[in-house]
Every structure is written in structure tokens, then in C-alpha cells.
Chain A
């Protein structure tokens, strides 16, 4: 079991984590903007998350916390 928590205010919607995720379960939320005006990322299938932390390691803004 694993999960990630995304700090919405820090996310700049750069998409690097989306490319890094081996399970392809991260997507930018095109339907909304965060407080900084970016499309933040969200995990669309938390059950498939393996807690590898590839996303968090790739994130330039320390916006992701990973639990396993």
C-alpha cells in the first residue's frame, strides 16, 4: 500500500513527475488552476501507487510527500 500527497500551492504544473511515474497514474488537472495559477498534478489511481517516489525525486519544488 502506498500513497502520495501533493502540496497544491507548491506545484507549478511542470509535468516532470507525470513523465517520471512508472505507473502512469499522474495527470495535470486541466480543469482547474491552483493558487499560483498553474494546473496542478493529481494522482488519478492511488490504488496503483507503489510508493517508488520517482515523482517526488523528480519534482523541482519539493511538492510531493510519499508514504508506503
Chain B
């Protein structure tokens, strides 16, 4: 039986997915190109009796998220680059207090006020910290509206499972595009007990506290080591990626989200020219799929990597770390809101194939 599919806009699907995952708290602030997430929530969240607040700023919104998460609820906020920058203090607090939360970044071109067209210039900010201190967020990069739906639902499960912030790193293209989405009849919602949450002491013997301040250096160091242990477990268990044609690829493209879609067409075009091109598409940007990249670099059929991003070269650093000098890693980037054309990428593939330095 054909599954019913609905044509929906990326931003709206994110909101719908959150509601389906049992999220009943959304706090946000308008910023292009993600505002439709908020519009959807303004209607639907209110209709189902959830909590919707248009906060006075992104700083306020992330602190409302911190509050709802402290109280044990599933909660989400969404924003775009400059707004995500504002949220960094709050994100660090959420990481330090080990609270589950979902933050959506529909990335626009930067730096500064930048532009409103799509970019991937927040990769460093998302995966390397962004806020102060030693912490990590789980970062997921969907590449289609269907993935936006499935991975946003998954994000809430992961957040609760690990008591971590999960960031959905989209971009303006993904947020604004419309694609058919096949919704499940039932969502795979995982429920985790939250005995640590501040819900009012009631009959509990001990009172709960949510905090990230530990004045004693030994205590704070121990706390940090606990966090690092947790992150190791996440790295061992939650890496996700898509691999295409690695068995016989000569050149391997590394790209995430929108760039991976453009690159898929280039793979086909290269094959017609007799050049075997494969691709590794990270779906989790943190934890980063270092292992598959390292193993692929070791294969004798692989001659080089080409990393394609909408930035000046961010994920390519992690690719280079994983490749560890085994093969050359080339880079092609566009910025300002521009997307690379298939021809640009194919031209580089052809050049690399000839043995040229791009």
C-alpha cells in the first residue's frame, strides 16, 4: 500500500517532528531563514495545549529552554547563525548542567549580520564548542526534508538518553525547500526517567539541584572528566554517516547536507567520464565519522579526497585529521550564500584525476 506523503517545507517539518516526538515546549525569536518553525509552533503548539513563547531575544529563549529542561521537559528552540551566537552562553550552561535539549540552527551566511542565503559556516561553532569550556554537543546534519523529520524526532531521544544538547544543523536551502515527507503512524519515542529534574521535592529524600558551577577545582575537574567519559560513549555508539561507492572509488567526496546532494549528481557525471567517485556524507558532525574516513584513506583504490562545503574550509580540518596524511585532501568552498554548481565540483574532480593540484 502506498504510504501517504505530504509536501512540506523543511522548517515546518522540524516543528511537526518535534511535536510528534512529544515536545510540548518551544521558545524562539524571529530570524530569517528559520522563522517558519516558530510560525508553525505558534499555531500547533498552542492548539495542543503546549507552551509557546516568542521570547524577547535569543538569549532569553535559550534560558527558557534551560528552565524547561531543568524541569524535566522535552524542549526546543530554533534560530539562525547570529541568533545561535547569542545562545552560546546558554548552550555552555546546558552542557555543564547536563540538560537534554534540542537546538535547531538553520545556517545563514556570515560573519556578522551576513546574508540570509544558505551556508555551512557554523560548523566550527557547532562541533568545536561555540560557547566557553570543555564540552560537546551532539550535532546532526540532515540532507533532506525526510531526514529533517526523522532525525529531529531522533534528536529528542538522543538528548534524553545522554542528557546532552542535540543540535540540528540545517541551512537556508533545507529550511526553505519543500519535499514530500512520509510520516510514520507511530513515532519511536524512547522514554527516559529523569529523577534528577527539578519538579518540586515532594516525597523525595534529597532535593534536586541543576547547576554548572563547582568552585573547588578538584570537584570541577572530576565533573569535567565525567563529561568526557560520557562523550566517549557517544562517540562509540552514535556515529552516523552515509557511504557511497567506496569499494572502488578513486576520489572520495566528503560533504554534508546540501553539498552532499549537489555532489551526488557529480558522482553520476564523473562515472560517465570514467572517473570513479565515491562519497562519505557525515550525518552526525559530532561525533565525527573519523573511523570510516581513516579506513577509506588506507584503501589502495582511493587516490584523493575532495571536501565540498559552503564555507572557507571547516569540516575539511576534521577530514584531514582523520585522513592523517595518508592521501591528499582537496577543498572546494563557496560562501556568502552561494552554492557550488555541479560543474565547479566536476571540474575539480577532473583536475584531481589528472594529477593536478586544486
Q: Direct A–B touching in the complex (beta carbon < 8 Å)?
A: no
Contact surface of B with A, Cβ cutoff 8 Å: none
Contact surface of A with B, Cβ cutoff 8 Å: none
